[in-house]
């Protein structure tokens, strides 16, 4: 197969890339546009939506709520993800494939259905909707990501290291703490960052399960009705978008870095 | 690698319990709830007669069925357009991008990881009678009135969803193309197949698992979509998901909403089952 460069395909790629990024650029322009409605040509450039944003208490509270939900759900998802990944990759467990199928299912079930199902669960148990109920829902949807990232990492690091530790007298849980966890740490961090971003952006589950104190996406959608407050909401959205992209790039570099420090078995002869 | 069994079970216990409590049981409860005749009394009080009335209601209601068909049509359209647009991208990345392929792929995927809600909101700013495109067109004098195609409508929903899913659609196709054994392609070329024929007879059929995966990976979540219609669909742009959302958020009729959600769940599971028969999902996602 010849690897000849293809200018037409490259051009097509570039055009689609521009189209993909254009709406994001427009969001940014909207946040510095001097006016409530965004029409072309722009009226002028201003930073005052960003200043308003810092004074808007409801908005900052929504940001705080999102941070609480994302921090707790991502910590839980990456920890149970790590436990499950180690169990699945290092032990012969009956029902392994059933567990994986169920764990990956939240990626295939529309969030609307999961939201409805959890709403029925919590209200039939008389559990008040709150940030906790949102966080629980987010662990379910972040869990498959964490599990798959960690299983991929465990698949390519050598179980002989753990066996050596145990042959030298370490108990399993001592090995887990002193050998497996340090090797897995960068990948767990990467899984945690991905889970954090999934939770931070999630709207559907949060809208079904919030108890009146909204997370950021729920707040943002609620503000769509008020044209005069909208630009400052977009300003915050731009800040959040830049922050979450940075986190994801960090996660990607951790995941790749983690995979590079692996210990390979010595090839015989 | 069979060592002692117990640490494995200890490790898997909490994740299993978590999935059981907050994923499987809620779905089962939803199925149970859909058999309730009304919303009277607590769920765990079993003093109600299970009934299929809600399902009969859905199947006997032409407007629900029509909306279900429209939603399935829109989800198929979005998935197919996404595949047609993304296939050349994946082909370019695998066969023509050379050493910079992974950088190009990262650039393509990055927008998918920015907030889903914000990207839809961006389209709300772009489309619509006072949107970026229409005001631009009118200020240049090309059009006197807002372009009908760009008003809030189902067309706007389709455009927005294709945009939202495009980077995601490219992924499974990319993975499938990458797994094609290059020697097969060489054989085709040595045996004298001109490139278009080689593509049609060799590359395309071998990449079909990726195409099928891409289709379902877009179709299933799009069926449950209600936020995009809410934002850019306008008054006539509602989809099946919007009825479910309305039944629950306004507390109107939870059992009927649960029945509609359960029908969608069954559909999603059946399609997922077909998907796993056709392709190795784990490798697609990994």
Say which of A9, A208, A240 has its CB closest to residue B88. Answer: A9
Query: 């630009």: which residue's tokens?
Result: A231
Q: How far is A36 from chain B (nearest CA, A)?
A: 11
**CB pairs below 8 Å between A and B: how many?**
262
Q: Structure pTM?
A: 0.86
- Residue among B93, B90, B100, B151 at smallest CA distance from B126: B151
Q: How far is B26 from chain A (nearest CA, A)?
A: 5
Taking only the tens place, the pLDDT of each residue in A10-43 is: 999 999 999 999 888 888 888 888 877 766 667 7
Nearest residue of A to residue B166 by CA position? A20
Give the pLDDT confidence score for residue A39 in this predicted structure: 65
The whole-number average pLDDT for the span B153-158 is 89
Residue B51 located in a structural domain: no
Helices assigned H by DSSP within chain A: 7-31, 48-55, 57-90, 96-104, 111-124, 131-155, 160-167, 172-175, 181-201, 204-209, 216-223, 230-260
Residue A156 located in a structural domain: yes
Residues 225-254 of B with CB under 8 A from A: 225-227, 231, 241, 244-245, 248-249, 254
Higher-pLDDT residue of A269, B267: B267
Residue B62 located in a structural domain: no
The answer to whether A63 contacts chain B (CB < 8 Å) is no
- Looking at the structure of chain A, the number of domains it has is 1
**E strand or H helix at B58:** helix B53-59
User: Residues B254, B247: contact at Cβ < 8 Å?
Assistant: yes
- Looking at the structure of chain B, the number of domains it has is 1
Nearest residue of B to residue A234 by CA position? B118
Most confident of A2-16, A116-130, A217-231: A116-130
Residue A11 located in a structural domain: no
Nearest residue of B to residue A133 by CA position? B22
CATH number, position A210: 1.10.3720.10
Which domain range does residue A255 map to? 48-260
Query: 């994986």: which residue's tokens?
Result: A100
Write down the ipTM of this complex. 0.86
> Residue A263 pLDDT > 60, yes or no?
no
Which domain range does residue B205 map to? 71-109+151-247+271-286
């Amino acid at each position: 197969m010849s690897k000849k460069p293809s200018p037409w395909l490259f051009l097509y790629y570039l055009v689609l890339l521009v189209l993909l990024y254009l709406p994001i650029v427009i969001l940014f322009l909207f946040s510095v546009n001097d006016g409530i409605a965004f029409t072309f040509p722009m009226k002028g450039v201003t930073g005052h939506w960003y200043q308003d944003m810092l004074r808007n208490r409801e908005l900052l509270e929504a940001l705080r709520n999102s941070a609480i939900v994302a921090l707790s759900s991502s910590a839980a998802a990456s920890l149970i993800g790590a436990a499950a990944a180690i169990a699945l990759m290092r032990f012969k467990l009956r029902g392994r494939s059933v567990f994986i199928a169920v764990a990956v299912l939240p990626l295939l079930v529309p969030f609307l259905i999961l939201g409805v199902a959890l709403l029925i669960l919590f209200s039939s148990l008389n559990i008040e909707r709150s940030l906790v109920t949102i966080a629980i829902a987010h662990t379910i949807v972040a869990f498959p990501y964490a599990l798959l990232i960690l299983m991929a990492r465990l698949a390519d690091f050598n179980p002989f290291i753990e066996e050596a530790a145990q042959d030298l007298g370490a108990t399993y849980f001592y090995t887990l703490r002193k050998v497996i966890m340090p090797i897995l740490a960068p990948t767990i961090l990467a899984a945690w960052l991905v889970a954090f971003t999934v939770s931070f952006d999630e709207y559907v589950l949060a809208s079904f399960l919030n108890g009146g104190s909204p997370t950021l996406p729920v707040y943002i959608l609620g503000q769509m009705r008020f044209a005069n407050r909208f630009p400052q909401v977009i300003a915050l959205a731009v800040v959040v978008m830049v922050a979450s992209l940075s986190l994801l790039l960090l996660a990607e570099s951790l995941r790749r870095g983690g995979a590079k420090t692996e210990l390979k078995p010595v090839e015989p002869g | 690698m069979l060592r002692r069994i117990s640490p494995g079970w200890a490790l898997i216990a909490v994740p299993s319990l978590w999935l059981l409590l907050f994923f499987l049981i809620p779905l089962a409860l939803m199925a149970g709830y859909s058999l309730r005749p009304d919303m009277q009394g607590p769920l765990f009080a079993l003093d109600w007669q299970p009934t299929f009335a809600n399902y009969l209601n859905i199947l006997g209601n032409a407007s629900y069925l029509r909306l279900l068909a429209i939603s399935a049509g829109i989800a198929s359209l979005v998935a197919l357009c996404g595949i047609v647009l993304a296939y050349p991208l994946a082909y370019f990345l695998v066969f023509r991008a050379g050493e910079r392929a992974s950088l190009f792929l990262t650039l393509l995927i990055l927008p998918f990881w920015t907030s889903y809600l914000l990207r839809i909101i961006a389209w709300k700013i772009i489309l619509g009678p006072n949107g970026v495109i229409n005001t631009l067109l009118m200020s240049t004098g090309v059009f006197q009135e807002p372009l009908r195609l760009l008003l809030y409508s189902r067309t706007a929903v389709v455009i927005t969803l294709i945009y939202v899913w495009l980077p995601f659609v490219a992924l499974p196709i990319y993975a499938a193309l990458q797994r094609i054994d290059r020697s097969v392609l060489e054989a085709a070329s040595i045996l004298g197949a001109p490139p278009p024929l080689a593509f049609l007879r060799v590359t395309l059929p071998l990449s079909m698992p990726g195409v099928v995966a891409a289709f379902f990976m877009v179709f299933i979540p799009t069926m449950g979509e209600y936020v995009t219609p809410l934002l850019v669909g306008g008054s006539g742009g509602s989809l099946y998901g919007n009825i479910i959302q309305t039944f629950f958020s306004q507390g109107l009729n939870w059992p009927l909403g649960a029945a509609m959600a359960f029908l969608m769940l069954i559909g999603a599971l059946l399609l997922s089952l077909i998907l796993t028969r056709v392709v190795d999902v784990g490798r697609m996602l990994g």
